[in-house]
Amino acid sequence: MQKVLDSDFCTGCGLCSSVFPSKVDIGVNKDGFYRPIIKEKLDKRELSIFRQFCPGVKVLSFNHEAPFRNKIWGTYFSVITGKSSNKSVLDVASSGGAITSILLYLIENKTVDYVIQIGVSEDNPLLSKVFVTNDPETLINNANSRYTPSAPLVDILNLIDSSKKYAFVGKPCDISALKSYALIDPVCSPIKIYLSFFCAGVPSYNSTISLLESFSSRIDFVKNIRYRDGSWPGNFKVEETSGKVHEVSYNQSWKNFFGPTVQTRCKICGDSIGHNSDLVCADAWSSSGKDGFPTEEIKTGTSLVISRSKIGETVLREVLNNKALTVINPTYDINDLQFIQPGQYAKKQYVLIRLIALFILFKRPPSFPLQFLLFGLLKSKFSVAIRNFLGVFRRVFIKGKL
């Protein structure tokens, strides 16, 4: 575990503290990320268990039943674009509100009893907390993106009641960790469906503090923060207790604040597109620049939804049949994703070369299924691959890490 921390490959999911509560705590470190606090060393048996589920050590492949496989975007049953049919969801959603609409359907139709998801902490609007809820209002309130660290698995094993059924929403690494642990311990079996999203990485808590400081604001002034508010893709918006409001565009918040602080593990992630989720959603930008940022602003967003498993496909069909989502394109061509998600497409092309560079430097990066990595590299330009390879060496030698 200490090696994962020293190499900075921890995702901050919190599962280790749930599995080994007497030996591991979790807290936000000076760099602004959730990290384990080791109270007592794990024994050999515990270390063996830890290595089987920690996404800082390895990520497994789980979805093998899908009839279609795209060499870049992975296995799938179907791909659609659409938006929530619920105006209340659309008003607060980051894009088209697909995840929230699916969750509402699952609760309303008693497919699951509860949803486990992240929302805003009542104690600190910059921090996130885990919600276990079946309340529609709470689900809608938790709809918006949060570009700040979260540890959704920190107490997960205590939150699960074996007599109930759950839907879990989390980052791709959270889902990989939970599914891997489920191979060891059946305590996770009540989770019936896993939902995720295309993940751009976890920015530091400190980046939100820096954004506040750029407005000459402070955390104790803050009444409410929304990371994506208003017209799609949405502005970073802060409302102070005094009534004063500060805003900055989505593009500027990511280029100048969030993007530069994304944690190391995210920069070498081979599964930022939710290969192991049952349903994965993303922004279906109508146009993006070469840097991956949207080039236009419109009133409401559109969601892309990919079903990657039988249960995911079944739920998606039920949601569509019940009109919980308004379909825009029922048979979206997955090959067009490279144009609306160029950032994810680029990551697929360079991540393997970065992992190879780290391996050569004896950094022991996490392992990923080869099918998550190889075909992207084969589509990359030689010059870009070499630049990423040398860039890893330069950053490791100068900074000691990526």
The pLDDT tens digits for 210-256 are 999 999 988 889 999 999 998 788 899 999 999 999 999 999 999 99
Residue 174 in this model has a pLDDT that exceeds 60? yes
pLDDT of residue 122: 87
Per-residue pLDDT averaged across 290-306, rounded?
74
Q: What is the pTM of this model?
A: 0.94
Q: How far apart are CA 264 and CA 199, in angstroms?
A: 14
pLDDT of residue 296: 62
Q: How far apart are CA 280 and CA 79, in angstroms?
A: 10
Cα separations in angstroms, 37 against 146, 148, 300: 24, 19, 42
Q: How many residues can be counted in the chain?
A: 402
Per-residue pLDDT averaged across 155-181, rounded?
97
Residue 320 in this model has a pLDDT that exceeds 80? yes
Q: pLDDT of 373-392, one tens digit each?
A: 998 888 888 888 898 999 99
| Residue 390: Cβ within 10 Å count | 12
Banded model confidence at residue 402, pLDDT cuts 50, 70, 90: confident
Residue 199 in this model has a pLDDT that exceeds 60? yes
pLDDT of residue 272: 97
| Residue 330: Cβ within 10 Å count | 11
Q: How far apart are CA 34 and CA 53, in angstroms?
A: 17
Per-residue pLDDT averaged across 155-175, rounded?
97
Q: How far apart are CA 294 and CA 251, in angstroms?
A: 8
Bridge partner residues of 235 (DSSP): 229
Q: pLDDT of 43-86, one tens digit each?
A: 999 999 999 999 999 999 999 999 999 999 999 999 999 999 99
Cα separations in angstroms, 306 against 74, 146, 274, 373: 10, 21, 9, 19
**In the β-sheet with 235-240, what is the strand arrangement from edge to edge?**
222-229, 235-240, 245-248
Banded model confidence at residue 292, pLDDT cuts 50, 70, 90: low
Q: Please enumerate in sequence order all residues whose Cβ is within 8 A of that of 260, keeping only pairs 6 or more positions apart, or say none.
A: 207
Residue 291 in this model has a pLDDT that exceeds 90? no
Q: How high does pLDDT run on average in the chain? A: 93
From 127, 147, 131, select the one nearest 26 (Cα to Cα). 127
Distance in Å from the first CA to the final CA of the chain: 19
For 194, list phi and psi in degrees, rounded to 5: -115, 125
E strand or H helix at 260: none
Q: Where are the beta strands (DSSP E) in 95-249?
A: 114-120, 128-133, 166-169, 191-197, 222-229, 235-240, 245-248
**Residue percentage of the chain with pLDDT more than 90:** 82
Written as one letter, the residue type at 85 is: S
Per-residue pLDDT averaged across 266-274, rounded?
96
Banded model confidence at residue 144, pLDDT cuts 50, 70, 90: confident
Residue 293 in this model has a pLDDT that exceeds 80? no
- Residues 269, 344: contact at Cβ < 8 Å? no
Banded model confidence at residue 294, pLDDT cuts 50, 70, 90: low
Sequence-separated contacts (24+) of 123-126 with Cβ below 8 Å? 124/219, 125/222, 125/223, 125/224, 125/225, 126/205, 126/208, 126/209, 126/219, 126/222, 126/225
pLDDT of residue 380: 86
Of these ranges, 228-232, 290-294, 342-346, the one predicted with the greatest mean pLDDT is: 342-346
134-138, 157-161, 339-343, range with the lowest pLDDT: 339-343
pLDDT of residue 89: 94
